[in-house]
């Protein structure tokens, strides 16, 4: 059985920003029977974590610290994890009914634990995702490559994941299409809210600096305004210009 505990991470000893506070207050309203547990420097020993986490922490890349810690605490205690920029629209009780847990697609190909995921204590797939970090070296010049969607998806593909944004069951874990946990596509602007939608990920992109976040939002806005063919042409032109 998955305990009714929502875990979230907040490292760096900075105050929670107002958008994060609003999301967490929303969790409390939607899930009054759930315990909400923050993980930070006071209750999680960074020094005993793997080298990837220690190096990410020294580099002040808190989101990459969270990528590992979320897996570790859910593996050890069971429960639900949510990023602090996830807005819950309704309680995920139906997704927990079978007691096994879930992950969700963030786009047509990638699964992302930051959207929210749930598992029993000792879940084998969560263990594999966690232990992958034990063999990685943190590198501040490779942040996109080390971002969790690619790593999370790689583990699930070993268990037979089809990267096609369809509902699947892998080792008892539900893999949910984007309409469940990620109904808004940051790049295309496409929205797909349905009766299945449980939450919305607002993509704070805290692992980027301010300039990088502004660039991401600018690119996303441009893509939403251009025909698909022109977006591909501009991408090819940009790549050619960088050679």
Q: What is the pLDDT of residues 107-131, one digit of tens each?
A: 999 999 999 999 999 999 999 999 9
**pLDDT above 90 (res 77):** yes
Rounded Cα–Cα distance for residues 42 and 148 (Å): 24
Contacts of 209 (CB under 8 A, 6+ apart): none
The predicted model gives 158-168 an average pLDDT of: 98
Query: Which pLDDT tens digit goes with each residue over 197-218?
Result: 999 998 765 545 556 556 655 6
Q: Please, which pLDDT band fits residue 227 given cuts at 50, 70 and 90?
A: low
Rounded Cα–Cα distance for residues 114 and 10 (Å): 13
Exposure pattern of 183-195 as b/e (b: 16+ CB <10 Å)?
bbbbeeeeeeeee
Would you say the pTM of this structure is higher than 0.75? yes
When comparing pLDDT for 194 and 242, which is higher?
194
Q: DSSP letter string over 177-237?
A: -HHHH--B-TTT--B---TT--EEE----TTS-HHHHHHHHHHHHHHHHS-HHHHHHHHHH
pLDDT score for 211: 64
Query: Which pLDDT tens digit goes with each residue over 29-48?
Result: 999 999 999 999 999 999 99
In the chain the first and final C-alpha atoms are separated, in Å, by 53
């Amino acid at each position: 059985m998955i305990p009714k505990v929502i875990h979230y991470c907040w490292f760096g000893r900075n105050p929670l920003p107002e958008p994060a506070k609003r999301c967490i207050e929303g969790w409390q309203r939607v899930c009054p029977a759930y315990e909400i547990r923050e993980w930070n420097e006071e209750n999680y020993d960074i020094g005993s974590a793997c080298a990837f986490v220690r190096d990410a922490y020294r580099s002040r890349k808190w989101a990459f610290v969270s990528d590992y810690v979320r897996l570790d605490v859910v593996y050890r205690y069971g429960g639900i994890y949510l990023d602090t920029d996830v807005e819950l629209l309704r309680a995920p009780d139906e997704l927990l009914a079978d007691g096994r847990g879930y992950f969700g697609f963030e786009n047509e190909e990638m699964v992302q634990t930051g959207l929210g995921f749930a598992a029993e204590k000792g879940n084998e797939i969560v263990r594999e995702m966690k232990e992958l970090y034990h063999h990685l070296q943190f590198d501040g010049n490779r942040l996109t490559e080390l971002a969790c969607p690619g790593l999370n998806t790689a583990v699930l593909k070993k268990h037979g994941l089809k990267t096609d944004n369809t509902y699947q069951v892998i080792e008892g874990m539900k893999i949910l299409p984007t309409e469940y946990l990620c109904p808004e596509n940051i790049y295309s602007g496409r929205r797909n809210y349905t009766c299945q939608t449980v939450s919305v990920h607002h993509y704070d992109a805290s692992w980027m600096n301010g300039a990088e976040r502004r660039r991401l939002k600018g690119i996303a806005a441009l893509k939403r305004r251009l025909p698909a063919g022109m977006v591909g042409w501009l991408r090819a032109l940009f790549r050619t210009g960088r050679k």
